[in-house]
């Protein structure tokens, strides 16, 4: 049987006629987005052809719920390249979301800032990205029923959604900035020399996710928006050493603000 069909049939068997319009991928420390929200929860381990998320700070389940009137899938924990999976596998959920009818993809992540112009706790709306992973999730035979072989990337992070994000933040009196996100494969954090280079290349923040998901969602003609929470200054920018625990702790404070912005945006989505 068709791989997608097996996944979809299982999801439909749990969610019935729930028709999601929006999906959101929660990054490290951003799980509180779901606090107090009820819905149908499905563990990744139960879903045919889904990988298992096995990293601290990630729950590993999909939540089907209604947020501000919008039928939503919340992806609580994502799949990373550094776990040893192919990017076509880490981005499989995005293809499933598209097939379930999702139009809008919200992506969040934790990232390190490449300069002191950013403070820990800042929210950065991603205006564009640099794919420094040395690979691409669309490598392989193209499925023309899903998207084009050579997808345009000029509006990967949808301009209208970004306008809406800025307006929503303003209404809430929350400062956000726009910047360029650069993705590495990880899992080691960057060296100071690498961060100096990334800054020269135009990157404002660095992380290990988001870019593959955004590439695939753009290929599928979904409207994409992505936010980084600045959890630390990247290596060499300040004197701190980096630990995953610190990244998680710092993420939580900012997460509350980001949740407010996203929920305000949900209200205004057409
Ligand atoms: N580098 C890479 N990924 C990260 C960082 C960082 O400094 N902070 C959070 N995720």
Higher pLDDT, 250 or 82: 82
Q: What is the pLDDT of residues 46-103, one digit of tens each?
A: 999 998 765 555 678 999 999 999 999 999 989 999 999 999 999 999 999 999 999 9
Q: What is the pLDDT of residues 139-197, one digit of tens each?
A: 999 999 999 999 999 999 999 999 999 999 999 999 999 999 999 999 999 999 999 99
Does the structure show a pLDDT above 90 at 241?
A: no
Catalytic residue among 168, 218, 228, 232: 232
Domains of the chain and CATH, by start: 2-268 (3.40.50.1580)
The pLDDT score that the predictor gives to residue 27 is 87
Cβ of 17: how many Cβ atoms within 10 Å?
Answer: 5
How far is C-alpha 84 from the geometric centre of its chain's CA atoms? 19
Average pLDDT, the chain: 93
| End-to-end alpha carbon distance in the chain | 36
209 alpha carbon to ligand 1 midpoint, in Å? 10
pLDDT tier, 251 (very low <50, low <70, confident <90, very high otherwise): low
Cβ of 261: how many Cβ atoms within 10 Å?
Answer: 23
The pLDDT score that the predictor gives to residue 55 is 52
The pLDDT score that the predictor gives to residue 52 is 75
Is the CB of 189 inside a 6 Å radius of any atom of ligand 1?
A: yes
How far is C-alpha 232 from the geometric centre of its chain's CA atoms? 18
- Give the list of residues 6+ apart from residue 34 with CB closer than 8 angstroms, or none: 26, 63, 65, 74, 76
Burial (CB count <10 Å: 0-12, 13-18, 19+), residue 228: buried
Is the CB of 64 inside a 6 Å radius of any atom of ligand 1?
A: no
Q: Is 114 helix (H, G, I), strand (E, B) or coil?
A: coil
CA distance 136 to 139: 6
Q: Which atom of ligand 1 is nearest to the CA of 207?
A: 3
Q: What is the pLDDT of residues 25-47, one digit of tens each?
A: 998 778 788 888 999 999 999 99
Contact (Cβ atoms closer than 8 angstroms) between residue 74 and residue 26: yes
The pLDDT score that the predictor gives to residue 34 is 84
pLDDT tier, 14 (very low <50, low <70, confident <90, very high otherwise): very high
- 129 is annotated as an active-site residue: no
From the list 129, 139, 226, 228, the residue with the least C-alpha distance to 184 is 129
- Give the list of residues 6+ apart from residue 4 with CB closer than 8 angstroms, or none: 95, 96, 99
pLDDT tier, 132 (very low <50, low <70, confident <90, very high otherwise): very high
Q: Is 206 helix (H, G, I), strand (E, B) or coil?
A: strand
Is the CB of 234 inside a 6 Å radius of any atom of ligand 1?
A: yes
Does the structure show a pLDDT above 70 at 8?
A: yes
DSSP code of residue 222: -
Structure-token pair, residue 110:
């934790």
Q: What is the DSSP string of 137-196?
A: TT-SS--TTT--SS---TTSS-HHHHHHHHHHHHHTT---EEEEEEE---SSPPPHHHHH
234 alpha carbon to ligand 1 midpoint, in Å? 7
pLDDT > 70: percent of the chain: 94
The pLDDT score that the predictor gives to residue 56 is 58
The pLDDT score that the predictor gives to residue 198 is 98
Full-prediction pTM beyond 0.85? yes
109 alpha carbon to ligand 1 midpoint, in Å? 9
- 232 is annotated as an active-site residue: yes
CA distance 137 to 172: 36
Atom 7 in ligand 1: residue holding the nearest Cα: 112
Cβ of 24: how many Cβ atoms within 10 Å?
Answer: 24
Highest mean pLDDT among 48-57, 108-117, 253-262: 108-117
Atom 9 in ligand 1: residue holding the nearest Cα: 111
111 alpha carbon to ligand 1 midpoint, in Å? 4
Is the CB of 73 inside a 6 Å radius of any atom of ligand 1?
A: no
């Amino acid at each position: 049987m068709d791989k997608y069909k097996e996944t979809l049939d299982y999801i439909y068997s749990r969610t019935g006629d729930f028709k999601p319009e929006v999906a959101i991928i929660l990054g490290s420390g951003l799980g509180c987005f779901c606090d107090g929200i009820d819905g149908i929860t499905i563990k990744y381990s139960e879903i045919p052809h889904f990988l298992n998320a096995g990293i601290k700070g990630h729950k590993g389940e999909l939540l089907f719920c209604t947020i501000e009137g919008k039928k939503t899938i919340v992806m609580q924990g994502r799949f990373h390249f550094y776990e040893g999976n192919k990017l076509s596998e880490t981005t499989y959920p995005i293809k499933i979301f598209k097939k379930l009818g999702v139009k809008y993809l919200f992506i969040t992540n934790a990232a390190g800032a490449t300069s002191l112009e950013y403070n820990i706790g800042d929210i950065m709306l991603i205006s564009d990205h640099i794919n420094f992973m040395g690979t691409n999730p669309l490598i392989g035979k193209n499925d023309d029923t899903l998207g084009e072989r050579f997808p345009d990337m000029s509006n990967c992070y949808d301009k209208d959604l970004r306008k809406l994000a800025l307006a929503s933040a303003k209404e809430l009196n929350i400062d956000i900035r726009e910047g360029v996100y650069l993705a590495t494969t990880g899992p080691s954090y960057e060296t100071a020399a690498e961060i100096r280079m990334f800054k020269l290349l135009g990157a404002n923040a660095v992380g290990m996710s988001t870019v593959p998901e955004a590439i695939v969602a753009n290929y599928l003609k979904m409207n994409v928006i992505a936010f980084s929470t600045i959890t630390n200054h990247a290596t060499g920018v300040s004197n701190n050493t980096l630990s995953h625990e610190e990244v998680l702790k710092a993420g939580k404070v900012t997460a509350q603000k980001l949740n407010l912005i996203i929920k305000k945006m949900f209200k205004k989505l057409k």
